[in-house]
Structure 1
Amino acid sequence: MIDIHAVTVQFGGVKALDDLTVQLTAPVCGLIGPNGAGKTTLVNLLSGFARAKAGSVEVDGHSLLALSPVQRVRFGLRRSFQTEQVVEDLSIWDNVLAILEQVDSDRANYTEKVGTVLHYTGLAEVAGAWGSQINLFQRRKLELAKALVGTPRVLLLDEPGAGINEQEAEQLRDLIVGIHGFCGAQVLLIDHDVELIKGTCTQTLVLDFGRLLAVGATLEVLNAPQVRRAYLGT
């Protein structure tokens, strides 16, 4: 569970997050809002790249904000970015292994751990391919595999489906929905694709100008009049 209490993040005179209080309890939670709503600021706050002026954040009862970005990764916080961070001259296997070596000191089971996440993401058959040889959807799945390796607690997925087709998006939805069952991690999914949010998230948070606009069951939130006005433009 991600428990955010009275959080304010301010840049000069602008409050990017303004007294935000919310509990995210679902296995897969959506984060949406119009441009400038504070979505990226919230993700940066959780991952340690932005500082709160006030407030607290706990993950599964553990205080998060006192930890450095490295400590948060070792605690189990993982993040993907809109632009894939693939090392082109490493194999898919070694891209994942390089992450595991940073977050898990138990070298005895590295082969099993890397193999398990590659099998889950459907990359096992191309594990030996260079990063430069794989297509966009495989790159997206590789980002997911890197986030899953090494016992994650929370995955922050930033537009993981950008640029892929509908058939690939369906496969991605299945992977995201299955993450909690696969490793027990909670997912916070940031995306502009409403269909992806509908298909994966049972709880959705909507921000607008840094403030909480709505939170709750996804379909109820997306149908709320204030959300449709602010986000869907109706």
Structure 2
Amino acid sequence: MSRSQRLLDLMQLLRRHRYPVTGAGLAAELGISLRTLYRDIATLQEQGAHIDGAPGLGYVLQPGFMLPPLMFSEDEVEALVLGSRWVAQRGDRRLGAAARDALAKIAAVLPPDLRDTLDASALLVGPGQPTVAEDGGLALIRQAIRSEHKLEIRYRDVGGAESVRTIWPFALGYFDRARVVVAWCELRQTFRHFRADRMIALADSGQRYPRRRQTLLKTWRETEGISTQ
């Protein structure tokens, strides 16, 4: 492995850890010695990476350090293309336009050889069932999730019964035939899943719900037995 590839792998490894990780753990994952690891960390720090920590204490990468575009691998470029194409075809209009814009921005800064890889990617998204959820509703749901705001909804269940609820939305699942909001329901006092296309009306209450989105997501995963890996 070249030194440049090793430095890239180290950066990617640090990005995956939100909390300090020991030098021994990093060295073991990279298959290098501790001495080499310390040299590589010093090199990255000299290049502007905000890596906090010290031998024996662990290391953590602070946000803000941008990787040069040429450090994308071909596999990473294809993953970006495939993901963007999926969102462009299966997302609502605003999200689809954002995916296309993001891909165009990435293409604009890639070196020529990787730009060719992006343009010629043969990974395609197959046809899927169209959804009937309104674009404006999905945009409002995403904004409520980002803002950690309660939503007031009027909901029609599979049997046709309607109810008015206050929910704390913290995740939005994209399936071929439906978009599903994962939320805490104040009426039922538990987690519930709501199909976006069955929300007859919805409004942002402007009120923050009392728990953090990440905490709700973690608790829901534990309740449902969903792995975070």
What TM-score results when the alignment is normalised by the length of structure 2?
A: 0.25
Structure number with greater Rg is 2
Q: Which has the higher contact order (CA 8 A, sep 6+)?
A: 1
Q: TM-score, normalised by structure 1?
A: 0.24
